[in-house]
Amino acid sequence: MAVVFKKSPVLADVPLHYCPGCTHGIVHRLIAESIEELGVADRAIGIAPVGCAVFAYNYFNCDMQQAAHGRAPAVGTAIKRVHPDSIVFAYQGDGDLASIGAAEIVHAAARDEKITVIFINNAVYGMTHGQMAPTSLPGQVTTTSPYGRDVNHCGYPIRVCEMLCTLEGNQYMERVAVNNVKNVLAAKKAIKKAFQRQVEGKGFSLVEVLSTCPTNWGMSPQEALKWVDEKMIPYYPLGCYKGGDK
Amino acid sequence: MTHEMIIAGFGGQGVMSLGELLTYAGMHEGKEVSWMPSYGPEMRGGAASCGVIVSDEPVGSPVVTEATAVVVMNLPSLDKFEENVLPGGCLFINSSLIERNSTRTDIKVYRIPANEEAQALGNTRVAGMVILGAVIAVTGVVAIDSIGEIFTKVFGEKRAKLWDINKQALERGYAIAKEMMA
Amino acid sequence: MSKILMKGNEAIAEAAIQAGCRYFFGYPITPQNQIPEYMSRRLPQVGGCFLQAESEVAAINMVYGAGGAGARAMTSSSSPGISLKQEGISYIAGAQVPCVIVNMMRGGPGLGSIQPSQSDYYQATRGGGHGDYRCVVLAPSTVQEAVDMMAEGFDIADQYRIPVILCGDGMLGQMMEPVEMGRYTPRKLPEKTWATTGMGSRKTPNIINSLYIDAAILEQKNAELAAIYDEISANETKWESYRMEDADYMVVAYGTTARIAKSAITKIRAEYGIKVGLLRPMTLWPFPSAAIAEAAAKVKAVLTVEMSTGQMVDDVRLAIAGSKPVEFLGRSGGMIPAPREIIDKLVEMAGGKA
């Protein structure tokens, strides 16, 4: 019988705890496949965040450190400095990276640390049950913006790639989405490129992945995928923001 | 014997280095020593000071409050540290810059015209060394030769050529104090 | 090896390097700046890495990363900066990552002062961050002891997989004393088979983590940590007993304050004939409670002296459990107690005579 799909051995053989329709699982797979295809699983060290993806340390078949909320880039900085030949990746959500860890991500990027950051932007705090994130859209209803995000009261959502791409250095930054097959394929390409650049000894890489949270958005999985197209991508345009070399 | 000294002046008079010289020289002679600077914003204002202890016993408090000898290079230092001299202790006053005398009657006061003497030697920057010579003559805290032996440890090999003038200043201060004691 | 004259802060930095520390992460704050400055000069010379972090928070998390990856790593700071590091220290304790943290204590609370203080005693000895944990807390009173303790501190950290805090103060950091490097004999330590190095040929991943979402499992983890803390208490408690043989009064003081107490003891014995001794905790956690209780049994009263409004005195009282009067003398805000103040207090306790 022909094998048409095989789970990457870089993913541990355990069930993921994510909600139905959540795209964390897809992104995990893309990371695992990239690591596998580049043949660097034996020297990969991942950093799990605080948030829904905290258990990432159980999902990847490589050494992992769990980091305090927002601090993954600092932890990753040090691991890479200790083991320069390792392939270090941090997996962070939007609250983690763009709010409490804003300083860490800016400075890791500014130092052009040779690490790869996968940034999951789903416009909401997932694990704590749907509070407003730094990337929640104007007017978006969350459990802490019940009347919709009022930009006059709490400001505008942060476009991380656009903000970081002003930094000098050899960084690579791209925004992708995983809400349809075409976008998933493009996301895979970007994530693999981010890892590839690290393997080649190039600088900091960050891939922002527009992701879904049907549970906290109060939508069906299909509606959530559509919401990414209709609401998120217009505010967060897809594309490469820095380091678009081939 | 325990020598507990305070050396004070304003920035640029080299009071920290004087303290270091004494500390190094004491260590060089196999004695127990400590050097404790005042630190913080006040270093840029009035009195910069350091406490130096040279002792046959392990050093207890590195903060000198009951001093066997106090060196003051400027007036604010005299005002601040005069009271810290132990009864029977010594106070060395840079009389080139300090007009008033000590009001204490229970201590020995040595007024050394350090700047004038240094000027006569051709370099006012060695005023501190004149006073240091006097301190050594009076207290015997370290041997005068020890200063020469450790001079470059404090000031670096690059300043080795400055030893000659510093040596002259040291010996001048030593001689002045010996005359005063005679 | 011959003695050299060094500033406390620089001696601590050099001792760390000689102990094999190759990673330093920190953020500027007075009065410990000579440590990062020295590290920034020396670490590149020995193939190490000095990195000035964007914040204290980032610095401690870098220490967590480097320590978790198997390296000897440290950070240093002073009181307000140490407060910022507490979240990271809690994670480090939970994930059992070895590291050394230097706190050159200054006056507080808040921005406080930059002068010497011992007012972070509670914070250091009670964990400091959230959760049920301890750090080993070393309290040197001389520059030489700081050098020796830095070397041993890295060994203790590795042996028990625990954060070790070296608590000095601005005085210890700024003063110069003769020191000899390399006096400490390194311990034989287990290999760091748990570190995140990349799996290489290893079959199972190494995970550095402090999350145990199942309460029963976390309780088990807490019990494991508590067992390690008991072992450390049994093996690593250190103190110095000074002139206690014939003492009628006992002073308890640590760090630079203990030196000041020693000066006071020498003088009070000479001037008044009052027999006073000193018990100096060299480890603040584990605290030498048994030694203090034993020594207290032989004296009339106890005086605790601190550069705080009274923190360690609580532990002294707990150790003595009401069996003897415990008096307290404290200076705070960056003020340093003078030997004379201690003498006056002891004379008062002794009723003015021997």
Q: Are C21 and C147 in contact (CB under 8 A)?
A: no
Predicted confidence band of residue B11 (pLDDT cuts 50, 70, 90)? confident
> For the residues A72-95, what does the mean pLDDT come to?
98
Q: Which residues have CB under 8 Å from A128's CB, separation 6+?
A: none
Of A12, A66, A78, the CB nearest to C211: A66
Chains C and A touch (3+ CB pairs under 8 A): yes
Q: What is the pLDDT of residue B13?
A: 87
Q: Where in chain C is the domain with CATH 3.40.50.970?
A: 4-236
Q: Are C133 and C97 in contact (CB under 8 A)?
A: no
Q: Are A17 and C41 in contact (CB under 8 A)?
A: no
Tell me the pairing of strands A172-177 and B2-9: unpaired
pLDDT single digits (tens) C23-67: 999 999 999 999 999 999 999 999 999 999 999 999 999 999 999
Q: Examine residue A146 and state whether it is found in any structural domain, yes or no.
A: yes
- Give the closest-approach CA distance of C27 to chain B in angstroms: 18
Chain A residues within an 8 Å CB radius of C91: 67-68
Residue B144: CATH number of its domain: 3.40.920.10
**Cβ of B61 under 8 Å from any chain C Cβ?**
yes
Q: Where in chain C is the domain with CATH 3.40.50.920?
A: 240-349
Of A57, A78, A106, the CB nearest to C25: A78
Question: Which one, of C350, C179, A154, lies nearest residue B35 by Cα?
Answer: C179
Give the nearest chain C residue to A59 (CA atoms).
C205
- Does the distance separating the beta carbons of C71 and A82 come in below 8 Å? yes
- Does the distance separating the beta carbons of B40 and C30 come in below 8 Å? yes
Chain C residues within an 8 Å CB radius of A103: 54-55, 57-58
pLDDT single digits (tens) B108-152: 999 999 999 999 999 999 999 999 999 999 999 999 999 999 999
Predicted confidence band of residue B46 (pLDDT cuts 50, 70, 90)? low
Of B27, B40, B57, the CB nearest to C3: B27
Dist CA C221 CA C211 (whole Å): 10
pLDDT single digits (tens) A100-154: 999 999 999 999 999 999 999 999 999 999 999 999 999 999 999 999 999 999 9
Structural domain range at position B52: 2-181
Predicted confidence band of residue B41 (pLDDT cuts 50, 70, 90)? low
Interface test with C, best of B18, B35, B61, B81 (most C CBs within 10 A): B61
Residue A42: CATH number of its domain: 3.40.50.970
**Cβ of B37 under 8 Å from any chain C Cβ?**
yes
- Does the distance separating the beta carbons of C61 and A71 come in below 8 Å? yes
- Does the distance separating the beta carbons of B35 and C177 come in below 8 Å? yes
Chain B residues within an 8 Å CB radius of C256: 61-62
- Does the distance separating the beta carbons of C87 and A79 come in below 8 Å? no
**Cβ of C50 under 8 Å from any chain A Cβ?**
no
- Does the distance separating the beta carbons of A79 and C65 come in below 8 Å? yes
Number of independent structural domains in chain A: 1
Per-residue pLDDT at A1 exceeds 90: no
Chain C residues within an 8 Å CB radius of B37: 174-175
pLDDT single digits (tens) C203-235: 999 999 999 999 999 999 999 999 999 999 999
Q: Examine residue A237 and state whether it is found in any structural domain, yes or no.
A: yes
Dist CA C165 CA A201 (whole Å): 36
Structural domain range at position A120: 24-242
- Does the distance separating the beta carbons of B37 and C177 come in below 8 Å? no
- b/e code C98-121 from CB counts within 10 Å (16+ = b): bbbbbbbbbbbeeebbbbbbbbbb
Architecture of the domain defined by C240-349 = 3-Layer(aba) Sandwich (3.40)
Instruction: Return the amino acid letter for C196.
Output: T
pLDDT single digits (tens) A152-192: 999 999 999 999 999 999 999 999 999 999 999 999 999 99
Is the CATH number of domain C4-236 3.30.56.10? no
Mean pLDDT for all residues in chain C: 96
Dist CA A54 CA A120 (whole Å): 13
Dist CA C78 CA A28 (whole Å): 41
Number of independent structural domains in chain B: 1
- b/e code C26-44 from CB counts within 10 Å (16+ = b): bbebbbbbbbbbbbeebbe
Interface test with A, best of C54, C86, C202 (most A CBs within 10 A): C54
Predicted confidence band of residue C168 (pLDDT cuts 50, 70, 90)? very high
Give the residues across from A174 on adjacent strands. A207, A240
Report how far apart, in Å, the C-alpha atoms of C258 and of each of A200, B59, B101, C60, C155 are.
56, 11, 37, 30, 25
* CA atoms lying within 13 Å on the CB side of residue C151: 18
Per-residue pLDDT at C247 exceeds 80: yes
- Does the distance separating the beta carbons of C200 and A82 come in below 8 Å? no
Tokens of A164: 């970081």
What's the full length of chain C, in residues? 354
- Does the distance separating the beta carbons of C207 and A66 come in below 8 Å? yes
What ipTM was assigned to the predicted interfaces of this complex?
0.92
Indicate the pTM of the whole model: 0.94
- Give the closest-approach CA distance of C196 to chain A in angstroms: 5
pLDDT single digits (tens) C278-298: 999 999 999 999 999 999 999
Q: Are C61 and A81 in contact (CB under 8 A)?
A: no
Dist CA C268 CA B55 (whole Å): 19
